[in-house]
Amino acid sequence: MSFLIRIIQIPITWRSIIGKMIKRKDDFMSENQNYIVQEDDICLVSYPKSGNNFLLFLVATLLYKTKIDWSTKGKMIQNVATEPIKGLPSPHLVWSHEGYDPTYPKVIYLVRDPRDIVISYHHHNRKYYADPRNFDDFFDAFMEGSIGPAGPWDKNVESWLDNRDKVKKGFLLIKYEDLLVNTSKNAHRIIKFLNLDRTEEEINEAVDWASFDNMKALEKKQSIHLNGNSPFVNPKMPFVREGKANKWKSVLNQNQQKQINQKFHTALTRLGYEIST
């Protein structure tokens, strides 16, 4: 019997402990923080599985006029939870899944419907950590806020909404669903927020480069940079998926929809998300 199969058979409490030991470096968060945020950093913040890479590709291409890919992302964009990267372009782009932090000087916060997040999160954990839980069990853990160090979705989101005016150099809120529907419009918002001067051609190139079709194509060529060598990773499962909104309508049952409506009602309402009936 393989080591992987033995891990899957271990009770969930012990699997979670082992999971912490085998986590990819870019998944650690504040409890292992090494990087110290700088005064001129641009922080890209989101709850896990909110479309973070979609935003990263777009902002980095607009900011640096360089087309990042899966092989260069880790050299150009700093994870707040890892050691400082040498030779980062300036200003630094820093990504994080943390709740409100007063040291973050300038923030672009990406928010996504939690009903779609839980679907994407389940896929992610199955791919990278051989998580054996079925969707219903995973959903329950998500509602408890026990999936990872980011905690409950609403607490993370509202910590930023409640303190957005305290972010020293500005706070820009972007909804994943809006970014999908009109990437170009949001690219213009980002340019204005960052005080960049870009031509329409440069903007269009960045939009095309950050598209899900392109990220999927890059994944096929550079899968080693996404899958690594861990025996827990399932290379047959894609990292970049459909990139669609409202998939929850065909996946979540009525009881699950009701649970999210009740638990996250305030945050959903503040963000203008549909409250299903």
5 lies in some domain: no
6 lies in some domain: no
| pLDDT, position 18 | 34
Single pTM value for the model: 0.83
For residue 254, give both structure tokens.
């009525």
| pLDDT, position 230 | 60
Taking each helix axis from N to C end, the angle separating 114-129 and 153-163, rounded to the nearest 10 degrees, works out to 120
Give me the torsion for CA of 205, 206, 208, 212, rounded to 10°: 160
| pLDDT, position 96 | 95
99 lies in some domain: yes
| pLDDT, position 6 | 32
CATH number, domain of 100, equals 3.40.50.300
In which domain, by residue range, is 175 found?
22-245
115 lies in some domain: yes
260 lies in some domain: no
Q: Are 184 and 204 in contact (CB under 8 A)?
A: yes
- Tell me the DSSP string of 177-230: HHHHH-HHHHHHHHHHHTT----HHHHHHHHHHTSHHHHHHHHHHSTHHHHTT-
- List residues bridging with 108 in a β-sheet: 44, 172
Q: Which residue in 218, 213, 237 sits closest to 227, CA to CA?
A: 237
Helix (H, G, I), strand (E, B) or coil at 276: coil
Q: Are 169 and 105 in contact (CB under 8 A)?
A: yes
Count: domains in the chain? 1
Average pLDDT, the chain: 82
Name the more confident of 7 and 225: 225
User: Which amino acid, 54?
Assistant: F
Sign of the dihedral defined by the CA atoms of residues 158, 116, 231, 217, in that order: negative
Q: Residue 23: pLDDT above 50?
A: no
- Note the pLDDT tens digit of each residue in 157-173: 999 999 999 999 999 99
For residue 174, give both structure tokens.
């972007």
Integer CA distances (angstroms), 114 to 44, 103, 246, in order: 18, 26, 10
- List residues bridging with 174 in a β-sheet: 110
- Note the pLDDT tens digit of each residue in 180-213: 999 999 999 999 999 999 999 999 999 999 887 8
274 lies in some domain: no
262 lies in some domain: no
Name the more confident of 144 and 246: 144
d(CA 207, CA 58): 6
d(CA 271, CA 193): 20
Q: Which residue in 193, 201, 159 sits closest to 174, CA to CA?
A: 193
- Note the pLDDT tens digit of each residue in 86-100: 888 889 999 999 999
Longest pairwise C-alpha distance within the chain? 58
Mean pLDDT within 99-115: 97
Mean pLDDT within 26-32: 41
Integer CA distances (angstroms), 183 to 71, 113, 175, 192, 231, in order: 23, 17, 11, 14, 36
Mean pLDDT within 3-24: 36
Residue whose token pair is 């340019």: 191
69 lies in some domain: yes
